[in-house]
Amino acid sequence: MSGIEIASLVAGLLGVGATAWLSGRAARIVGALCLAALVFGLTRALLGLAGAGGLAAGLCALAVWRFPGLVLRRVAFAVPSLVLLIYATTLLMYKAPGNPFAGERAATPAVEQALRAHYGVPESATEFFAIYLRRLVMEGSLGPSIKVQGRTVEELLLPALPVSMALGLLALTLACALGIGLGVLAGLRPNSAVDHGSMALALIGISLPNFVIGAVLLIVFALGLGWLPVAGWGGYPHVVLPAVTLALPYAAYIARLARSGTLEVMQEDFIRTARAKGLSEPAVVLRHALKGALLPVVSFLGPAAAGILTGSFVVEVLFGVPGMGQWFVKGAINRDYSVVLGTAIVYFTLVTAFNLFVDLAYAWLDPRVRDAEAR
Amino acid sequence: MSAPAANGWVRLRRNRAALAGAAVLAAITGLCFVAPLLFGLDPHTTDPAARHLGPSGAHWFGTDALGRDYLSRCLVGGRTSLLVGLAATVTSVLVGVVWGAVAGYSGGRVDEVMMRFVDFFYGIPYMFLVILIMLLFSETARGEPLPVFLALGLVQWLTMARIVRGQVLTLREREFVQAAIVSGAGPVHIIVRHILPNVVNVVVVYATLTVPAVIILESFLSFLGLGVKLSWGQLVAEGVAVVNPIQSYWWLLFWPSLLLGATLLCLNFLGDGLRDALDPRTRT
Amino acid sequence: MNRDDALLEIDDLHTHFVGEGEPVRAVDGVSLRVARGAITGLVGESGSGKSVLSLSVLGLVPPPTGRIVSGRIRLGGRDLTSLSQKELRHVRGNRVAMIFQDPMTSLNPYLRIEEQLGEVARLHLGLSRAAARDRAVEMLDRVGIPDPAQRIRAHPHELSGGMRQRAMIAMALLCEPELLIADEPTTALDVTIQAQILELLAGLRDERGMSILLITHDLAVVSAVCENVYVMYAGRILEQGPTREVFKTPAHPYTLALLRSVPRVDRRAGVASGSHLLKSIEGLPPRLDAGPFQACRFAPRCDLVRDACTRAEPTLELREGRGRRCVAEPDELR
């Protein structure tokens, strides 16, 4: 790697780390500016230069004044991180052996130069990065796909995004419902049949790769019983197997967390107070214990969502679901830089947004955290 | 050993599930490393005449698409999976412990910057990182264990760093550390002599729980065509790939899944048992 | 004390924790009376069983190991030990209320004060949300919390220690209970706040005729507000009687030893005359899981121990409103 590249990487890392040093006021300002840049890039295509610019400026002012500190600080961290991610990913792809233009047919240097110019893929990673970033912010575009002729990355990913999101959200919901239900029950009756049974199931759920569980479900329900379709995407039945497959390992983790959270909360003094007030056992659990018991589950939701996105790569391939995972894998193997970057950006944004949402939920649930964050 | 840790080992010995898990794990490990040598098993010789045979006296686990003895492949593949799991975990422990200890002990700005670094990587789905790192290696190099366990270890250290940092932060405020600081001991000395021994417990627990996570990640890579040439993950992925309504080669999926699942189950039992025994926070 | 004006009567209560092997005899034959309109003190060191005793009244001893093995608990003539859980729930928070030692952990940190107080009124008095809230605000005001309409929206961590304890007391008073059990209500508080809370409790007795069972390890608290005191040790009552008399002329070596170990500003060390030094009690309380006691529980640590003490446990002698469980003559305790 050249000196410039290494220096840029280090500078980027330090920059991202340095966002931790910003004082409250500075963090708000930086966060608002970043938010404005994001909005500008997103609406540029729709509203034109002046429109997007005005909107961004207005939003910036509003954000500095009114938005919660937690959100702004997170944005102040996320945007530089995204830029760093784009740069690092670009570097990684450039360093990998092979390049997009060394196809089956031997290309002469002149042809390759022409292709490079056409797609905006220069020899140096840093130049590519500059071109890419400029296009991203100024035009709000993710660029043309190098391998799929005549299509931009947006055109490729846009139909795939709702698919992946639907699958992911459904899986997450299933995992929560199943995991919390079983886990809380187990925690309320420790060492009972329910407890041992559900924890045994949970252990099995995390002891096998999800595609194995998926394959077994496939064999039983699709090939064997014929209740559900084997692969593809198109209606409610198609969603069931992939979503369940994705959800099961996370349901298992969540069940374990919910169980230990419940056990801990039930030992607390305020549970004794609730009983001393004459509340019935269901009221004690639902009204007093649940909030505290589920806090560890809520903290886990962030990593769980990231994990579900990861696992979805495999599940989408297994069940032939036309989601974003397959675009990333295809792009990585074919060295379609724009597609890879496009999926990276989308994933990163999704995970960051989700983590932010989870942190806000946590603050809402635990008022002590809320006050600490507000300062 | 500090008193709570000593009690911990006693407690662990009483946990029958964990002990059973350890025993089965030892048995499987022994099988994978020793049995092929002992019985002259051969996972590589192909035999076109013996393709896709079910389990029989000659081939206990059947044969695969190229006529290779499946029992040998499962056992030798186990070596790879176990080694990769171990190597990646060791990598993640080394990097994670150092990172977390330095961050936790330094506190203040250094800590914040270091943890931001960790947060940055956390925002990226790890398969993503792993795949990209894997691509750094050429096609031929990719089937080897080294790139895989490097990639996996480089991703798993993040969790370990977070956990170690948390522990160190708590420990730093404890009296015995304050006393050492006041008596003039330097930071390296304090970290090594006072803090790390108390962090060992937590590290052991989570390391034991990291191994199964790594093995599963490796199987994901195999499924996507990026894994090690011969491992449980690879075999399981091949077994899944041949699932079709017409011909069932169930043994291709069944045996490696059984071995893989059993190993991971044991590791999880052991990890749970260790956690109940050693991690002070989970004591009721 | 006249049997007729006792609100709470505990007769020979045994509460054990049952496990493998010998049960832990936390309460090993205790009889106690709380008079109407009076504050009765129950004093003892940690592990004496006083908290378990208080939890037994409301059937809150933690299952599955904790159980009331024998004995009777009567509230205004009604036998609480024979009630089902459902019936007991009507009593809890309603006729008998309980407040605990540490208001920070005893109040739910995730819920607003409004929620925690309101639910008691809605449950037992059938009030609507709004009516329950109003009643709660009123009660917060009565216990001396300033600006109660605002404060009620707060979470426990937003209040100071003293205010949290007042809020707990308000929560206990919402349904106008006949009996208030206060388990170490001042232990977790600063001294000045302690005084305020005790004043509040005394006020409840004087103005509303509330009966209070006050459990504490702090003799100063007992002498400040309690008419009667029971001294508990290792699951048994060793001495009982009117506070003033018991503290002036203790009739049990344990009580004497306790009094001697309390520092006082206005005297040379030691409350009881005749000693210049603070005297701590040597040794440790006995184990409660070694089977029934065949001797006096305090004998190993007693200065006045003699043969009779180790042969059989002394019975409780009741005379002139005072009780003592000791074979030594009262004159010997100087």
User: Which stretches does DSSP call E strand in chain A?
Assistant: none
Query: Which of C106, C112, C153, C181 has the most A C-beta neighbours within 10 Å, making it the best mutation to test the interface with A?
Result: C106
Mean pLDDT of chain C: 87
> Hey, which residues does C24 pair with through a beta bridge?
C17
| The two three-digit tokens of residue A365, written as one number | 């649930």
CA–CA dist A317, C216 (Å, integer)? 67
Nearest one of B49, B47, B74 to B60, comparing CA atoms: B74
- Residues of chain A with Cβ-Cβ distance to C155 below 8 Å are 367-368
A371 to C157: CB separation less than 8 angstroms, yes or no: yes
Task: Give the per-residue pLDDT at B284.
Answer: 34
Question: How far apart, in Å, are the Cα atoms of C196 and each of A33, B7, C221, C265?
Answer: 53, 45, 12, 21
pLDDT digits (tens, 9 = 90+) for A298-331: 878 877 887 787 778 888 888 888 888 888 888 8
Q: Is the pLDDT of residue B5 over 60?
A: no
ipTM of the complex: 0.84
| Closest-CA residue to C34 (of C89, C74, C86) | C74
| C16 membership: H or E segment, kind and range | strand C6-17
Question: What pLDDT, on a 0 to 100 scale, did the predictor assign at position B213?
Answer: 86
Single-letter residue type at A177: A
CA distances to A94, A152, B21 from A339, rounded to whole Å, are: 14, 9, 45
Q: Quick one: pLDDT band at residue B1, thresholds 50, 70, 90? A: very low
CB atoms within 10 A of CB A111: 12
Here the tokens at position C201 are 């409790």
| Alpha helix segments (H runs only) across chain A | 3-18, 24-66, 69-95, 109-119, 125-134, 153-188, 193-205, 210-217, 236-266, 269-276, 281-283, 290-319, 324-334, 337-365, 367-374
DSSP string, A71-134: HHHHHHHHHHHHHHHHHHHHHHHHHSSS-TT--SSPPPHHHHHHHHHHHT--SSHHHHHHHHHH
**Which residues in C have their CB inside 8 Å of a CB on A?**
58, 60, 89-94, 97-98, 100, 102, 105-111, 119-120, 123-124, 155, 157-158, 168, 171
Could you give phi then psi for residue B226, rounded to 5 degrees? -115, 10
Could you tell me how far CA C154 lies from the centroid of its own chain? 29
Query: Which chain A positions have a beta carbon within 8 Å of B128's beta carbon?
Result: 310, 328, 344, 347
Residue B130, C-beta contacts closer than 8 angstroms, at least 6 positions apart: B151, B152, B155, B217, B221
In sequence order, which ranges of chain B are alpha helices (DSSP H)?
3-14, 16-39, 70-106, 108-122, 126-135, 139-142, 145-172, 175-182, 187-190, 196-223, 232-241, 250-278
- Distances C324 to A154, B100, C20, C42, C313 between C-alpha atoms, Å: 89, 62, 34, 15, 12
User: Which chains share 3+ C-beta pairs under 8 angstroms with A?
Assistant: B, C
Q: Which structure tokens are listed for C68?
A: 């009331």
User: Mutual orientation of helices B3-14 and B250-278 as an angle, nearest 10°?
Assistant: 140
* Whether B123 and A215 lie within 8 Å, measured CB to CB: no
β-pairing verdict for C78-79 and C66-75:
antiparallel
Nearest to B116 among A19, A340, A351 (CB): A19
Helix H or strand E segment including C215: strand C211-216
Q: Is C touching A (3+ C-beta pairs, cut-off 8 A)?
A: yes
**For all residues of chain A together, what is the average pLDDT?**
82
**A226 has pLDDT over 80:** no
Q: Is C98 helix (H, G, I), strand (E, B) or coil?
A: strand
Rg of chain C over Cα atoms, rounded to whole angstroms, equals 21
Residues of A in contact with B239 (CB under 8 A): 215
pLDDT at A375 over 70: no
More confident residue, A373 or B270: B270
Contact at 8 Å (CB) between C247 and C223? yes
Taking residue B99's Cβ as centre, other Cβ atoms within 10 Å add up to 21
The 10 Å Cβ neighbour count of residue B200 is: 16
pLDDT for res B6: 56
Residues 75-134, chain B, touching A (beta carbon < 8 A): 109, 112-117, 119-120, 122-128, 131-133
The mean per-residue pLDDT over the stretch C213-227 comes to 92
Structure tokens that stand for A187 in this block: 């925690």
- With cut-offs at 50, 70 and 90, classify the pLDDT of residue A102: low
Q: Is A224 near chain B, with CB under 8 Å?
A: no
Chains B and C in direct contact, meaning 3 or more beta-carbon pairs closer than 8 angstroms? no
In angstroms, rounded to a whole number, what is the distance separating the alpha carbons of residues B162 and B158? 6
CA dihedral A269, A271, A274, A278 (to 10 degrees): -110
For A83, the closest chain B residue by CA position comes to B120
pLDDT for C259-273, tens place per residue?
A: 887 776 665 554 555
State the pLDDT at residue C33.
92
pLDDT band at A186 (very low <50, low <70, confident <90, very high): very high
Q: List pLDDT tens digits, range B54-96.
A: 777 777 888 888 878 888 888 888 888 898 889 899 999 999 9
CB contact under 8 A, B236 and A209: yes
Looking at the DSSP bridge assignments, the partners of residue C68 are: C15
> Distance from B183 to chain A by nearest Cα, in Å?
31
pLDDT value at residue C239 = 92
Split at pLDDT 50, 70, 90, the class of B283 is very low
Furthest-apart CA atoms within chain C: distance in Å: 67
- Best CA proximity match to B63, nearest among B80, B40, B42, B36: B42
DSSP helix/strand/coil, C283: coil
Cα(C256)–Cα(A16) distance, integer angstroms? 68
Hey, what amino acid is at B237?
A: A
SS3 state at B44: coil
Say what the pTM is: 0.81
Instruction: Give the pair of three-digit tokens for residue C44.
Output: 């003892």
Residue C218 φ/ψ, nearest 5 degrees: -100, 110
> How far, rounded to the nearest angstrom, does the alpha carbon of residue B75 sit from its chain's CA centroid?
18
Q: What integer pLDDT is reported at residue C270 of this predicted model?
A: 47
Helix (H, G, I), strand (E, B) or coil at C213: strand
Does residue A203 sit at the B interface (CB-CB below 8 Å)? yes
| CA quadruple A327, A329, A330, A331: dihedral, nearest 10 | 80
Q: Cβ atoms within 10 A of the Cβ of B27, count? A: 12
Is A66 in contact with A101 (CB distance < 8 Å)?
Answer: no
Omega of the bond leading into A237 within 30 degrees of 0 (cis): no
Measured between alpha carbons, how far apart are the two ends of chain C, in Å?
Answer: 26
Share of chain A above pLDDT 70, in %: 95
Q: What is the mean pLDDT of residues B2-17?
A: 64
User: What percent of chain C has pLDDT above 70?
Assistant: 94
